[in-house]
Structure 1
Amino acid sequence: MIKFIACDMDGTLVDDKKEIDKSVFSTIEYLNEKNVLFCAASGRQYNSLKTIFGEYGKNMVFISENGSYVVYDNKQIYASFMDKELWQYIVLKCTEHGGMGIILCCKDYIYTTDPETVDMLSNPKFGYNVRLVDSLIDIDDDILKVSILDDNPYSGRVKKFLETNFKDKTDIAVSGFNCIDIMKKGVSKGKAVREILENMGIAKDEAAVFGDNFNDLEMFDEVYYSFAMKNAVDEIKERANFVTSHTNNECGVVKEIEKFIEKGVI
Structure 2
Amino acid sequence: MSLKPTDPALYVKNADPRLIVADMDGTLLDDSGEVPEELWELLDVMKARGIAFAPASGRQYFRLEHMFHDASDGMPFICENGAFVVRDGVEVSSCSLPREAVVRSVHAVRNSTSDAAVVIAGKKMGYFDRTEPQFGAEVHKYYRRSALVEEILDYDDDVNKVAIYTFGDARAGLYHDLEGQLDGCSVVVSAPHWVDVMHPEANKGTAVRALQRELGVTREQTVGFGDYFNDAEMLEASGMSFAMANAAEGLAQGARFIAPSNSEQGVITVLRNLLGL
Same fold (TM over 0.5): yes
The CA distance in 2 between the partners of 1:132 and 1:118, in whole Å, is 12
RMSD: 1.7
| Structure 1 residue 114, shift from structure 2 partner | 1.2
Contact kept, 8 Å, 2:20 with 2:223, in 1: the verdict is yes
- 1:172 is aligned, of 165, 182, 187, to 187
Q: TM-score, normalised by structure 1?
A: 0.91
Q: Structure 2 counterpart of 1:4, which letter?
A: L
The CA distance in 1 between the partners of 2:199 and 2:236, in whole Å, is 20
Name structure 2 gaps, 5 residues minimum: 1-15
Contact kept, 8 Å, 1:118 with 1:132, in 2: the verdict is no
| Structure 1 residue 85, shift from structure 2 partner | 1.2
1:242 equivalenced with 2:257 (yes/no):
yes
Residues 226-237 of structure 1 mapped to structure 2, 5 A cutoff:
226-237=241-252
Q: Equivalent residue for 2:13? A: none
1:58 equivalenced with 2:76 (yes/no):
no
- 1:132 is aligned, of 127, 148, 155, to 148
- 1:251 is aligned, of 237, 262, 265, to 265
Q: Equivalent residue for 2:52? A: 37
SS at match of 1:102: strand
1:220 equivalenced with 2:235 (yes/no):
yes
In the TM superposition, structure 1's runs of 4+ consecutive aligned residues that sit over 6 Å from their partners are none
Q: Equivalent residue for 2:94? A: 79
The CA distance in 2 between the partners of 1:225 and 1:260, in whole Å, is 11
Q: Equivalent residue for 2:10? A: none
Provide, for residues 144-175 of structure 1, a one-character-per-residue CA deviation record: whole Å limited to 9, x for no partner.
Answer: 100111231232x2112222101x31112221
| Structure 1 residue 262, shift from structure 2 partner | 2.4
Structure 1 stretch displaced more, 205-214 or 98-107: 98-107
Contact kept, 8 Å, 1:121 with 1:130, in 2: the verdict is no
SS at match of 2:32: coil
The CA distance in 1 between the partners of 2:252 and 2:60, in whole Å, is 26
1:3 equivalenced with 2:15 (yes/no):
no
Name structure 1 gaps, 5 residues minimum: none
Aligned residues: 259
Q: Equivalent residue for 1:120? A: 137
- 1:97 is aligned, of 108, 112, 116, to 112
Provide, for residues 199-248 of structure 1, a one-character-per-residue CA deviation record: whole Å limited to 9, x for no partner.
Answer: 3321221110000011100011112100001111231111111110x211
| Structure 1 residue 84, shift from structure 2 partner | 0.8
- 1:158 is aligned, of 159, 174, 178, to 174
The CA distance in 1 between the partners of 2:108 and 2:145, in whole Å, is 26
Contact kept, 8 Å, 1:43 with 1:176, in 2: the verdict is no
Contact kept, 8 Å, 1:4 with 1:208, in 2: the verdict is yes
1:111 equivalenced with 2:130 (yes/no):
no
The CA distance in 2 between the partners of 1:129 and 1:215, in whole Å, is 23
Q: Equivalent residue for 1:144? A: 160
The CA distance in 2 between the partners of 1:105 and 1:127, in whole Å, is 9
The CA distance in 2 between the partners of 1:35 and 1:9, in whole Å, is 22
Structure 1 stretch displaced more, 173-182 or 14-23: 173-182
| Structure 1 residue 177, shift from structure 2 partner | 6.7
SS at match of 2:109: helix
Q: Equivalent residue for 2:12? A: none
| Structure 1 residue 250, shift from structure 2 partner | 1.8
